[in-house]
Structure 1
């Protein structure tokens, strides 16, 4: 089946717009030789023109006619990947009837809010670190929190294993061993690494907000569609940043 597109676009953008994956993941699939255009293996930078057939793993890539935006309360143990090779992948856990994929990640031991969509362009913008999108977390650690710990977390933490210093952030003590933190970046296991720097170990980590989307009282393991107002506010913020 041949897909109609408005003009020539790069293969990673086409796959993203089709809701298959993010542009970054699309580049990976292309490098693996999983994508063809009119029967020929695509290369990085390949452009797709109107009327050409794009296939992934031998199956035609069809443009989704309806855009989907979901909020999901991820339990511990679920892995934020669309790969079927992972038994506990988030796509099977959600069980949505049409193709979607996660926007960003929460590590396997963390829980809480993650967005899923088939809108590749929006997903790409949300994940860009330069846009400083807020993500809010509730964290419990293994011992009593001190004021020095809170101040240290706020002011930027050197992470030698990632060769970087974290951005300054908002941190508020919530209880003897718990705090709330708002990040504008998404480094690998960032909060856990930040806590470890000060000699603390995270025992529970739950994300409760991404930009204007809040977890609220969504039951663990359940998902809901974003409201029209949530989608409107989300897109307005993304447009302002372009």
Structure 2
């Protein structure tokens, strides 16, 4: 295939995987896989070379559908209980996207990370594949603040053990901060940046506690102060820049 750089002297160039990501199809890494598999055409020709740059006005198709770069959207949702954090659910349960009407956000957004079916609190949704991938990466240092309500009072030695780190079945689990809330030993505030599956519940289960309620009340610099349960807001430009500066 000819080098697009030679035919685009006046047109702005963009990496093909970024174009695909910005069109809301998937993150850049998955876009590279689509390119290599021959699923992508540019101006009618199949492109398989990862790293290809194309004119911003090129006609790009995926499975025969012309892709268009979407406006990047960043939403902060206060998730209630009873919703799954997926695009669709084979069991027919409600998803977090059901809380965001198409009339308010026509772009194809998706959740960054997950919250359990019974877990409430802050969830970021976006169509910015690059940012979503970076925030979800295990190396990400994005702090999350949780309010945990246990089935019984936590013992002081267990609080100290969690602070020092617990060895779970998939490795060491460490929290950044942990403390009793309002002198009630059944209520715990915890800051953690690990993104392992069900990590908060597993930490307490390892020590013999059940989590009755789990609420994510902070994500990075974001709080749910102005986001009622079941509602969402668009992030401000400043808030988006702060997120990007974290990764």
Task: Report the structure number with the largest CA radius of gyration.
Answer: 2
SS of 2:122's equivalent in the other structure is: strand
Does 2:23 match 1:18?
yes
Counterpart of 2:173 in structure 1 is 166
Give the Cα–Cα distance (whole angstroms) in 1 for the partners of residues 206 and 172 of structure 2: 11
Q: Secondary structure at the match of 1:209?
A: strand
TM-score normalized with structure 2 length:
0.79
Q: Determine whether 1:226 maps to 2:235.
A: yes
- 5, 15, 24: which one pairs with 1:9? 15
Deviations along 1:24-72, one digit per CA (max 9) or x if unpaired, are 66578x49x89543578887958563324222x55332101x3221110
Given that 2:89 and 2:95 are in contact with CA atoms closer than 8 Å, whether structure 1 keeps it comes out as yes
| Contact persistence 2:38–2:48 (CA under 8 A) | no
The answer (yes or no) to whether the contact 1:20–1:101 under 8 Å persists in 2 is: no
The answer to whether structure 1 residue 111 and structure 2 residue 120 are counterparts is: yes
Residue pairs, 1:1-242, within 5 angstroms? 6-7=12-13, 9=15, 11=17, 13-23=18-28, 30=34, 35-37=39-41, 45=50, 47=52, 49-50=54-55, 51-55=58-62, 58-64=64-70, 66-83=71-88, 85=90, 87=92, 88-95=94-101, 96-99=104-107, 100-160=109-169, 162=170, 164-174=171-181, 175-235=184-244, 237-238=245-246, 241=247
SS in 2 for 1:177: strand
Q: What SS is found at the alignment partner of 2:191?
A: strand
Contact 1:136 1:180 in 2 (8 A): yes
Unaligned runs of 5+ in 2: 1-7
Q: Which runs of 5+ in 1 are unaligned?
A: none
The 3-state SS of whatever aligns with 1:229 is helix
CA contact (8 A) 2:59 2:66 kept: no
Partners of 1:74 and 1:34 in 2: CA distance: 38
* Residue pair 1:78, 1:93 contacting (<8 A) in 2 also: no
Offset at 1:130? 1.3
| Alignment length (residue pairs) | 228
2:178 & 2:198 partners in 1: Cα distance? 17
TM-score (norm 1): 0.80
The structural deviation recorded for 1:217 is: 4.2
